[in-house]
Amino acid sequence: MLALLHTSPVHVPVFDALRDAAHPGLTLRHHVDAGLLERARSEGPGAVADAVAVVLSRAVAEGAGAVLCTCSTIGGVAEEVASRAGVGVPVLRVDRPMAAAAVASGPRVLVLAALEATLAPTVALIEEEARRAGRPVTVRTRLVDGAWARFEAGDTEGYVRRVTEAAGAVTGADADVIVLAQASMAPAGERASFRVPVLASPVPGLAAAAVAARTPEPSRVRWPSRARWSPRVRWATWIGEASRIR
């Protein structure tokens, strides 16, 4: 069973549909807490560490084989909490495979975000993946004007349209690849043909998490050490596995 930590209920049907299309038989259990994002925006992502730890503990107690955090703003916090507390199962952030793919696509990465709080964590993640891959990268950011207000108002169509327009305005002179920083932005990547490749997080993120959830628990496997479960090492392994089941 795979547990998912969301900060908006809109992600529940999205990931259920992705599961049905690509990972039939995988059981998902959704944990939604919009308050985590609200607090992270006002006080900083680190402020929600204790609350995230509670969700992770509950997910493990309910039988999760892995946990996927679908919120880019607090994804890094989820990884750090899991590493520090030793929750016993892999905890993954949905945007890490996307970041690795962006680094492999070229040195000029443009991050589009609807929410300003997502920019810094996404840039840090891409730069981390670039260091791990030993590739030079320049990351630029762009906030999609007015998009988040539409999302909060429930205007999903208007939200996606704003993101699509922003991605469509990017040319090869601007970037080698576009990263859609938030999982909710993913539909924009399917709306049109863009002049620059557009990457979104839900598909590769869920693929990697599906592999993790189906991996035997550490206690049943003779891993070399607990370092096997560090975020950097496990993603290097699972991204390769996930790429074969997309």
| pLDDT one-digit tens code per residue, 103-131 | 999 999 999 999 999 999 999 999 999 99
Which residue type is seen at 229? Answer: W
CA dist 166 and 198 (Å) reads 11
Angle at 148 between CA 146 and CA 153, to 5 degrees: 100
Structural tokens at position 78: 């989820």
Closest CA to 115 of 170, 25, 42, 18: 42
Which residue type is seen at 23? Answer: H
State residue 217's pLDDT score: 53
Residue found under tokens 């990931």:
15
Closest CA to 28 of 209, 239, 230: 209
Structural tokens at position 237: 């392994």
Q: Give me the helix-helix angle, 34-43 and 49-61, nearest 10°.
A: 160
State residue 137's pLDDT score: 98
Structural tokens at position 31: 């944990």
Render pLDDT for 59-81 as a digit per residue (tens, 0 to 9). 999 999 999 999 999 999 999 99
Q: Where are the alpha helices (DSSP H) in 24-137?
A: 34-43, 49-61, 75-85, 96-105, 119-133
pTM beyond cutoff 0.75: yes
State residue 86's pLDDT score: 83
**Cβ-contact 207, 145 below 8 angstroms:** no
CA dist 67 and 89 (Å) reads 7
State residue 40's pLDDT score: 96
State residue 237's pLDDT score: 40
Extract the residue ranges of the chain whose pLDDT is less than 70: 216-246
Structural tokens at position 77: 């916090």
Which residue type is seen at 24? Answer: P
